[in-house]
């Protein structure tokens, strides 16, 4: 309950926030801006800057500027000269003659995406320049995290970077925001979940849509008046109380601009799909229904989009089929189901639920390669010898009948114990997979076998325990044959052939790492006693694999693996093939998961079109799909991380007051992140809460240093902490530093 406590200087003090008592436009203030009448100064400053931009190259005194702005009273003139002097100090103006001002340099305009930080500063990432542009809080204007903005590049550098100011919002990243409602007798606010959202959203009482104080909700931004430091909005969806698992899941999805339900017309259209398989369709395909076929998936999987078939042709020669759900047989191009799949681009895997790319009738039903059912598939069929050399291959539409649905655990038991269904077939496929993997690593592929945190949930989806998903032979078996299929399909279309021009295609690409990042990483791992060569790309790949092998089971394993991944470029989709550095493949695509990835559907359609001698989509359209899919993949990954954070906090609620050993997993200017060794839950120790000294952040060496004692805490250090708070509201664990742990 938010209580009105008192009036202070004509303003109400409500729940720790100050609201203007008279004018609703000025009620809501940014959490990072000082609450004064500086907005008037900023308005004049903007008008002065616009005046000088229009008169670029000419000199004017303050009286001429005041006259042009029609601000001729003595108070306004005095304010104008002060603002112009401040603009001179900021590098916006210069004073070539005493009392006469002009733009300091020819204006430089850039467009890019703005990234806001928790302290109110921002950076603009632009393709037009190599460095990120620093934007001071006073120059952010009404930009929000992720917006496309136009900026004016300032003359001086700040924080070692070029600096600028936002002059225009080109495109909003979002107009709908998830957060928590704070309700008062006269108005309400939505406090956004996004920690980088620097303002709350003011909600008039007639726009709260029945939301109650403290509930999770989604608000749509409807207006942002020039004189207001906070946008106005309306509640469009009430999600439920803080901590409720459905409300939190929907909030996380909305925070990242992701859907949590299908539109009614899409569900209705999916229900009309004919799921029967006509004989004439079977006749058009290669028939694998009599060939031994099985799926291998996680125990909780409901959508099976790949299967393996095995047949011994003769001694030391085998036929292995990688069969992929033929989603595009059922989803027609440009249909409303297809359009929804384009928009979503990927399935989203939260801790307690899956948000599928396709409606359930497709993803878990007709397209899923369920056992003992005839299924339509798109397949890559290999003729392969005992040395795992591909002698021949076909890429064809097929029909299969899976004989057995395996879990990874079941296959692992058979591989280790030598007993169970299809033990000979699984054993041979595993032998071939091991050879493929060994050869791939020898050619420079990097083996990121990252340990993944998983939660065991009870019937109420409450986390009972934490376990770690490890890559074992059963996982690697499937991985190697999926990789083989993906690179074979890519080469099948894209590899240059005499007399054939290149065809538009969708590639999965991965650029070489930034040399500076790699060098910094090499210097850092050296502090742990590991050598890392950086002279050539093969040196880097070899050193990375050696490091990843050497740190297995050690305290610093997860932290160094995470840091290693961050030094790599991000893989993405593109029509321009540059190869895949991490896998060391010249040609690579995504073909094997069309139930959960839209690029795989595109690849299936391109294969079918080229097989008939047709075209599917021009390169320009395919590239748009690639960019969108890469962006949605990034958003889905962020949502998945936020879901893990929420369940970590939920799991640790009963551990408040207890002590644990952990490893420093991140260092920032406001605190250090610590990953607990026992369960890999991550929390923060704020710098201000570390007693005995004043600590400063040393970015270059990933450490904090005590100002007086010179005591250091570095990334990778082992420390002991106490859990002081499990904050569901902010999805954050707060720790207290209790001491160091000796090696």
pLDDT number for residue 39: 56
459 belongs to a structural domain? no
Question: Is 467 a domain residue?
Answer: no
- Measure the N-to-C terminal CA separation of the chain; round to a whole number of Å: 49
Which pLDDT score is estimated for 488?
97
Does residue 587 have a pLDDT over 70? yes
**418 and 307 in a common domain:** yes
Strands (E) in 205-262, as ranges, are 215-223, 232-241
- pLDDT tens per residue across span 186-205: 899 999 998 888 889 999 99
* Residue 603, pLDDT score: 98
User: What are the b/e assignments for 88-117, b being 16+ CB within 10 Å?
Assistant: eebebbeeeeeeebbbbeeeeebebbbbbb
Tell me, yes or no, whether 15 and 42 share the same domain.
no
Nearest residue to 327 (alpha-carbon basis) of 357, 362, 293: 362
Same domain as 481, residue 426: no
CA nearest neighbour of 139 among 128, 130, 158 = 158
Closest CA to 147 of 109, 198, 191: 198
Higher-pLDDT residue of 269 and 198 is 269
CATH number for the domain spanning 209: value is 2.40.50.700
Confirm whether 362 is domain-assigned: yes
Residue 328 lies in a domain: yes
Could you read off the pLDDT of 681-700 as tens digits, one per residue? 999 999 989 988 889 888 77
Based on the fold, state whether residues 601 and 628 are members of the same structural domain: yes
Q: What is the mean pLDDT of residues 102-108?
A: 71
Is 447 among the domain residues? no
Query: In this structure, are 203 and 322 located in the same domain?
Result: no
What is the reported pLDDT for 286?
Answer: 97
Looking at residue 449, its pLDDT comes to 75
Cβ–Cβ under 8 Å, residues 199 and 17 = no
Query: Residues 543, 397: one domain?
Result: no
Phi/psi for 393 (5° steps) reads -150, 160
pLDDT digits (tens, 9 = 90+) for 112-130: 999 988 777 899 988 877 7
Whether residue 149 lies inside any domain: the answer is: no
Domain of residue 612, residue span: 476-643
User: Which of 27-36, 558-567, 615-624, 697-706 has the lowest average pLDDT?
Assistant: 27-36
| CA atoms of 573 and 629, how far apart (whole Å) | 7
pLDDT at 307: 97
- Span 480-497, pLDDT tens digits: 999 999 999 999 999 887
The whole-angstrom separation of Cα 371 and Cα 679 is: 35
Q: How far apart are CA 58 and CA 68, in angstroms?
A: 14
Asked if residue 23 has pLDDT above 60, the reply is: no
Question: What is the percent of the chain where pLDDT is above 90?
Answer: 61
Cα(352)–Cα(672) distance, integer angstroms:
28
Q: In terms of domains, do 272 and 409 share one?
A: yes
End residue of a domain, out of 242, 259, 279: 242
> What was the pLDDT predicted at 18?
30
pLDDT of residue 32 exceeding 50, the answer is no
Residue 80 lies in a domain: yes
Least confident interval from 282-286, 354-358, 374-378, 518-522: 518-522
Query: What is the per-residue pLDDT for 692?
Result: 84
* Contact between residue 708 and residue 697 where contact means Cβ atoms under 8 Å apart: no
- How many angstroms separate the CA atoms of 8 and 429, rounded? 75
| 619 and 530 housed in the same domain | yes
The pTM for the full model equals 0.82
422 in the same domain as 356: yes
Look at the chain and report how many structural domains it folds into.
5
pLDDT, tens digit, 9 for 90 and up, residues 126-148: 887 778 899 988 888 899 998 99
E-strand stretches of 668-731: 671-676, 682-686, 695-698, 703-706, 712-714, 718-727
Task: Specify which residues 180 forms β-bridges with.
Answer: 191, 216
Reported as type and span, the H/E element at residue 40 is helix 38-54
Give the other-Cβ count within 10 Å of 26's Cβ. Answer: 19
Q: What is the mean pLDDT of the chain?
A: 88
Mapping DSSP onto H, E and C, the string for 629-646 reads: HHHHHHHHHHHHHHHHHH
Q: What CATH number does residue 733 fall under? A: 2.40.50.140
Question: Are 728 and 601 members of one domain?
Answer: no
Same domain flag for 541 and 594: yes
From the list 697, 693, 676, 685, the residue with the least C-alpha distance to 734 is: 685
The rounded distance, in Å, linking the Cα atoms of 194 and 189 is 15
Q: Please give the DSSP secondary-structure letter assigned to residue 692.
A: T
* Domain assignment present for 446: no
- Strands 11-14 and 17-20: what pairing? antiparallel
DSSP string, 266-328: HHHHHHT------HHHHHTSEE-TTSEEEEEE-TT-----EEEEEEEEETTEEEEEEEEE-HH
Confidence at 22, pLDDT banded by 50, 70, 90: very low
End residue of a domain, out of 78, 103, 128: 103
Looking at the predicted structure, is the pLDDT value of residue 377 above 90?
A: yes
Residues 544 and 632 in one domain: yes
Q: Alpha helices of 55-157 — where are they, by DSSP H?
A: 62-68, 74-89
Q: Which residue has the tokens 């007399």?
A: 499
> If 0-12 CB within 10 Å is exposed, 13-18 middle and 19+ buried, where does residue 691 land?
exposed
Stronger pLDDT, 40 or 232, i.e. the higher one = 232
State mean pLDDT over 649-666. 94
């Amino acid at each position: 309950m938010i209580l009105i406590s008192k009036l202070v200087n004509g303003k109400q003090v409500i729940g720790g926030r100050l609201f203007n008592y008279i004018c609703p436009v000025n009620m809501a203030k940014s959490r990072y801006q000082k609450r004064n009448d500086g907005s008037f100064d900023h308005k004049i400053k903007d008008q002065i800057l616009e005046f000088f931009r229009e008169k670029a190259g000419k000199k004017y005194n303050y009286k001429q500027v005041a006259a042009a702005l029609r601000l001729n009273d003595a108070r306004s003139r005095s304010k104008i000269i002060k603002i112009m002097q401040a603009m001179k100090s900021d590098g916006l103006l210069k004073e070539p003659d005493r009392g006469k001002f002009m733009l300091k340099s020819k204006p430089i305009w850039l467009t890019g995406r703005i990234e806001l930080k928790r302290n109110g500063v921002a950076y603009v990432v632009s393709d037009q320049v190599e460095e990120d542009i620093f934007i001071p809080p006073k120059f952010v204007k009404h930009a929000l995290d992720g917006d496309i903005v136009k900026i004016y590049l300032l003359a001086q550098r700040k924080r070692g970077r070029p600096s600028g100011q936002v002059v225009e919002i080109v495109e909003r990243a979002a107009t709908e925001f998830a957060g928590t409602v704070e309700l008062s007798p006269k108005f309400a606010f939505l406090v956004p979940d996004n920690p980088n959202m620097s303002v709350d959203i003011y909600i008039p009482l007639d726009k709260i849509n029945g939301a109650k104080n403290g509930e999770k909700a989604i608000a749509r931004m409807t207006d942002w008046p020039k004189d207001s430091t906070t946008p106005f909005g309306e509640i469009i969806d009430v999600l439920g109380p803080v901590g409720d698992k459905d409300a939190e899941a929907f909030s996380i999805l909305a925070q990242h601009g992701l859907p949590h339900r299908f539109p009614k017309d899409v569900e209705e259209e999916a229900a009309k799909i004919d799921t029967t398989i006509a004989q004439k369709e079977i006749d058009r395909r290669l028939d694998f229904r009599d060939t031994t076929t099985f799926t291998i998936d996680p125990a909780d999987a409901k959508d099976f989009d790949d299967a393996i078939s095995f047949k011994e042709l003769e001694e030391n020669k085998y036929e292995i089929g990688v069969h992929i759900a033929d989603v595009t047989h059922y989803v027609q191009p440009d249909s409303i189901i297809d359009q929804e799949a384009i928009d979503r681009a990927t399935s989203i895997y939260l801790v307690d639920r899956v948000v599928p790319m396709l409606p359930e009738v497709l993803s878990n039903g007709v397209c899923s390669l369920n056992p003992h059912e005839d299924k339509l598939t798109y397949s890559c069929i290999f003729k392969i010898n005992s040395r795992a050399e591909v002698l021949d291959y076909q890429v064809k539409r097929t029909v299969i009948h899976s004989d057995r649905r395996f879990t990874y655990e079941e296959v692992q038991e058979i591989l280790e114990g030598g007993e169970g269904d299809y033990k000979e077939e699984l054993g041979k496929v595993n032998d071939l997979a091991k050879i493929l993997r060994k050869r791939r690593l020898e050619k420079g592929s990097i083996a990121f076998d990252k340990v993944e945190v998983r939660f065991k949930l009870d019937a109420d989806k409450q986390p009972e325990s934490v376990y770690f998903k490890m890559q074992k032979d059963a996982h690697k078996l499937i991985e190697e044959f999926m990789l083989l299929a993906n690179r074979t399909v890519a080469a099948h279309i894209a590899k240059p052939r005499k007399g054939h021009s290149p065809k538009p295609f969708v590639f999965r690409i991965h650029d070489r790492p930034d040399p500076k990042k790699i060098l910094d990483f090499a210097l850092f791992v050296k502090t742990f006693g590991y050598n890392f060569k950086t002279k050539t790309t093969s040196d880097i790949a070899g050193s990375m694999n050696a490091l990843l092998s050497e740190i297995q089971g050690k305290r610093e394993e997860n932290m160094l693996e995470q840091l290693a991944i961050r030094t790599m470029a991000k893989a993405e989709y593109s029509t321009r093939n540059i190869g895949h550095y991490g896998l060391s493949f010249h040609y690579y695509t995504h073909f094997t998961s069309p139930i959960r990835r839209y690029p795989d559907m595109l690849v299936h359609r391109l294969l079918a079109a080229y097989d008939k001698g047709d075209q599917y989509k021009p390169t320009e359209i395919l590239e748009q799909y690639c960019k969108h899919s890469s962006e949605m993949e990034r958003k889905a990954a962020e949502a998945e991380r936020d879901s893990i954070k929420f369940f970590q906090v939920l799991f640790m609620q009963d551990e408040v007051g207890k002590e644990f050993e952990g490893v420093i997993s991140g260092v920032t200017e406001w605190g250090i992140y610590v990953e607990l060794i026992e369960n890999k839950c991550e929390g923060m120790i704020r710098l201000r809460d570390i007693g005995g000294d004043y600590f400063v952040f040393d970015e270059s060496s990933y450490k904090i240093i005590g100002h007086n004692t010179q005591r250091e805490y570095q990334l990778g250090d082992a420390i002991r902490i106490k859990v002081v708070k499990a904050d569901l509201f902010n999805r954050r664990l707060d720790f207290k530093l209790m001491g160091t742990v000796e090696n």
